[in-house]
Structure 1
Amino acid sequence: MSTLGFLVMIRLNVLLLVSRFALVASSIGMLSTISHGNERFVSGFEDLPLMRGMTEATESNVAFDTVHGRVLVSFAQSSEGEEKIIAFYKEALSQLGWKFNGDGEFLRGEEILTIDFLPDGDYLAIRFSLEPR
């Protein structure tokens, strides 16, 4: 296996492990809301707003640096639907220089921010992933 293939495999395994932990954390009530003054941001992200009504699973956050840039993964939970959440982030992130690329993907500079949705009972678990292009 090539070095690149090995690194991709490790990253995917870490993301899968974090996804599983976040779902367990949300089901046992380990969710919290992060705020900074009147504005709320997703933990680990300097300028990723946390949509009103979302709760964040801070215990499941992952952050590390690679030779190509930083990798951040955070999870939140919401009772809102995917369309409303994507509409919120399209508007909020465009004001911060992000460009929507479809399929929950936003581009800015040399980074990609992906917003994925995972069903979690009556709620949606939302995964925010930032990685280098």
Structure 2
Amino acid sequence: MLAGLLAVSSPAGPPIAFAQDETASFLAAIEEVPLMAGLTEEETPALDFDKPDGRLVETYAYGEVGAQEATDFYRAVMPEFGWQNIDGLVFTREGEMLRIELIPEEHALVVRFVLSPKSLQ
């Protein structure tokens, strides 16, 4: 099987690479969303609810990565997985909306992922 590779330029260093194969990391709570290298997902999602209108999921990841680096990564990589960027770090796919929020903390970046049915927006 061929592995696709996407390189994202980072002004602070070498390109960020994300392989689209079985070695790639994805969020456990939202399996269609890649997990950027350097981030660790919280073990238990803050919210995980499946309802007739669609899924409601809120989960967090954290790590020592820069906010701009995370922004560049997700804006470049998400379309490779069928997510359409509609504004900033807001994406849609198959009737769902994903919001990614970056929260700088003193020693780490916290990344909040919120998935909801697009119909609720």
Fold-level similarity (TM above 0.5): yes
The structure richer in strand per residue is 2
Superposition misfits of 4+ residues, deviation over 3 angstroms: none
Equivalent position of 1:63 in the other structure: 48
Aligned residues: 98
Deviations 1:94-126 (A, max 9, x none): 011111112310111211001012232221110
Query: What is the distance in 2 between the residues matched to 1:81 and 1:101?
Result: 22
Q: 1:88 aligns with which of 45, 57, 73?
A: 73
Query: What is the distance in 1 between the residues matched to 2:51 and 2:73?
Result: 30
Query: What is the distance in 1 between the residues matched to 2:25 and 2:81?
Result: 15
The structure richer in helix per residue is 1
CA shift, 1:62, in A, is 2.3
What aligned pairs does 1:45-124 form with structure 2 within 5 A after superposition? Answer: 45-124=30-109
1:57 aligned partner, one-letter code: E
| Structure 2: unaligned runs, 5 residues or longer | 1-20
Query: What is the distance in 2 between the residues matched to 1:100 and 1:78?
Result: 23
Query: What is the distance in 2 between the residues matched to 1:126 and 1:101?
Result: 19
2:87 aligned partner, one-letter code: G
RMSD after superposition = 1.8
Aligned-residue sequence identity (percent) comes to: 30
Q: Is the 8 A contact 1:43 1:74 kept in 2?
A: no
Q: Is the 8 A contact 2:29 2:45 kept in 1?
A: no
| Structure 1: unaligned runs, 5 residues or longer | 1-35
Aligned to 1:76, the other structure's residue is in SS state strand
